[in-house]
Chains A and B, each alone.
Chain A
């Protein structure tokens, strides 16, 4: 199964940009890269996803390397509410069944 690797933790200051990296060197050609985040004692929430091109939405941007072996979630201006664990996830179909692989997640601390 494809796996993802993320740093255990990162720290940022409020109002500054944050770049959260994810390595997925064994990604297959049909795997999508999804990002979710989880606040303490809550269920994760969707942030963004992409396949090959960079993606933007109201929450964040996703930059995908040309070889697709890594990606970066970008929070343009971190706020205290962005403090959470961020998960990089590969999603695809393999042999007709759902493939769901979670990384360990990066705990983001945002300093005021």
Chain B
């Protein structure tokens, strides 16, 4: 089936550790996105990539890093510099054709810092 997969579903990390969240899509989409969601809040954009080997910061990029070496993959690293990393992380992709295209979301990864 076509879609977006995120792994793991739940992730626990100790304070001061970097952790990488996986996002893979087989929709042949050019654009991919990472969002963060805190309890009771809306989504905030962390990073997005419109094409391989290129990405831009969103509204809350500090403490995060990404790479886009392959079209299908857009991993997000939560670094120790992120002061409050506990949140629900959502990855999305779209065809990248502009303002009319639809974003498809993965099931999310819930990160808890112990």
Pick from B50, B102, B106, B110: contact of A98, CB below 8 A: B50
Residues on A with beta carbons closer than 8 Å to the beta carbon of B58: 100
- CB-CB contacts below 8 Å: B56-83 with A: 56, 58
Contact across chains for A91 and B99 when beta carbons are under 8 A apart = yes
- CB-CB contacts below 8 Å: A54-112 with B: 87, 91-93, 97-98, 100, 102-105
Residues on B with beta carbons closer than 8 Å to the beta carbon of A36: 103
Pick from B45, B103, B110: contact of A46, CB below 8 A: B103
Pick from B48, B106, B108: contact of A100, CB below 8 A: B48
- C-beta contact mask, B79-114 vs A, less than 8 Å → 1, else 0? 000000000101010000011101111111010000
* C-alpha gap A102/B46 in the complex (Å): 13
Interface of chain A, main secondary structure:
strand
* C-alpha gap A97/B31 in the complex (Å): 12
Q: Which residue of B lies closest to A43 (CB)?
A: B105
- CB-CB contacts below 8 Å: B22-59 with A: 31, 33, 41-45, 48, 50, 56, 58
* C-alpha gap A36/B100 in the complex (Å): 13
Contacts known (A44-B90, A102-B43, A105-B42); A31 close to B99, Cβ less than 8 A:
yes
Q: Which residue of B lies closest to A8 (CB)?
A: B40
* C-alpha gap A97/B96 in the complex (Å): 11
Q: Which residue of B lies closest to A32 (CB)?
A: B99
Q: Does A24 interact with chain B (Cβ within 8 Å)?
A: no
- For the complex with contacts A41-B88, A42-B107, 6 further pairs of A-B residues with Cβ separation under 8 Å are A31-B99, A32-B99, A34-B102, A92-B99, A98-B48, A100-B48
